[in-house]
Chain A
Amino acid sequence: MRENVNPVHVHDCPRCRYDLTAFAQFPRQSRRTINAGEDTATFYSNAIAAALAAAATSVKAASHVEACAGCLNDAEMVAVQASAAEAVAAARGLRKARLRLRRAQAAAVAAADAAAAAAAEATCPAKSRDSQHASFDVTPIPVETAEGRAWYRREQEALWRKATPLRAELIAAYSAVLDFDQMHCTKPSGTR
């Protein structure tokens, strides 16, 4: 049995030297904290990338064990076993990071929806009973005159321009619900 401290430099098997070099550079997993200026999604994306890199290196170490198990000394075997343990920890960390990323994304979507709803509520003319009369424009449109009819037409056109994107969004929502109903809801025979 050979004595060595650093398996990378003493191990002389040419077949696995490359794998051992990569193995020595195994990215050690450590508990990361969110840095200043780093948002949650970026943090978990980086955590997933680090866990994937660790897992890939561990796969290399595992293939090395399979190919060169006969020529490993004790120190190398201990290091490989430690690598396998880190691979398990990395996979566990990967699952946790993915779960947290999904939760962070769901929270971000909910926050964006709440902000949009708050903005819509802030611009809604019927925000409160006291502000109703102040925000309503009650100037009469004299539709009995040509000028009034042109004015009314302009108001209607402005309303139509505002309504167009909202109408498209509502149609898309209706279509999605109808498609879902058609694909997933069975109806009794003889009914339409």
Chain B
Amino acid sequence: MKLYPFVRASVVASALALALEARVIDMRASPYVRKKNI
């Protein structure tokens, strides 16, 4: 984000989208408990 004035806005947006995607994958692979009505 600190490089924003020196890189294109599309690159920053892609980096944030990729970070979000990585976070989702990590969450899906984290230890979990599948119970209803917790």
Residues on B close to A: CB < 8 A? 3, 6-11, 13-18, 20-22, 24-25, 27-29, 32, 34
Contact = CB atoms under 8 A, between A and B. Distances in A.
Contacts of A177: 3, 6
Interface of A: 113-114, 116-117, 119-121, 123-126, 136-141, 143, 148, 152, 155-156, 159, 162-163, 166, 169-170, 173-174, 176-177
B3 A116 contact: no
Contacts of B8: 113, 116-117
Contacts of B3: 170, 173-174, 177
B20 to A, nearest CB: 6
Closest 6 CB pairs of A and B: A116-B10, A120-B13, A117-B9, A141-B29, A173-B7, A124-B17
A98 B14 CA distance: 35
5 contacts: A116-B8, A116-B9, A155-B29, A159-B25, A169-B7
How would you classify the secondary structure of chain A's contact residues: helix, strand, loop or mixed? helix
A119 B15 contact: no
Nearest to A121: B13
B6 A119 contact: no
Given A136-B24, A155-B25, A174-B3, A125 B17 contact: yes
A135 to B, nearest CB: 10
Given A159-B18, A170-B3, A120 B28 contact: no
Contact of A166 (B14, B20, B28): B14
A113 B20 contact: no
A66 B29 CA distance: 85
Contact of B10 (A120, A163, A174): A120
A125 B27 CA distance: 15
B14 to A, nearest CB: 5
A125 B11 contact: no
A141 B8 CA distance: 34
A108 to B, nearest CB: 14
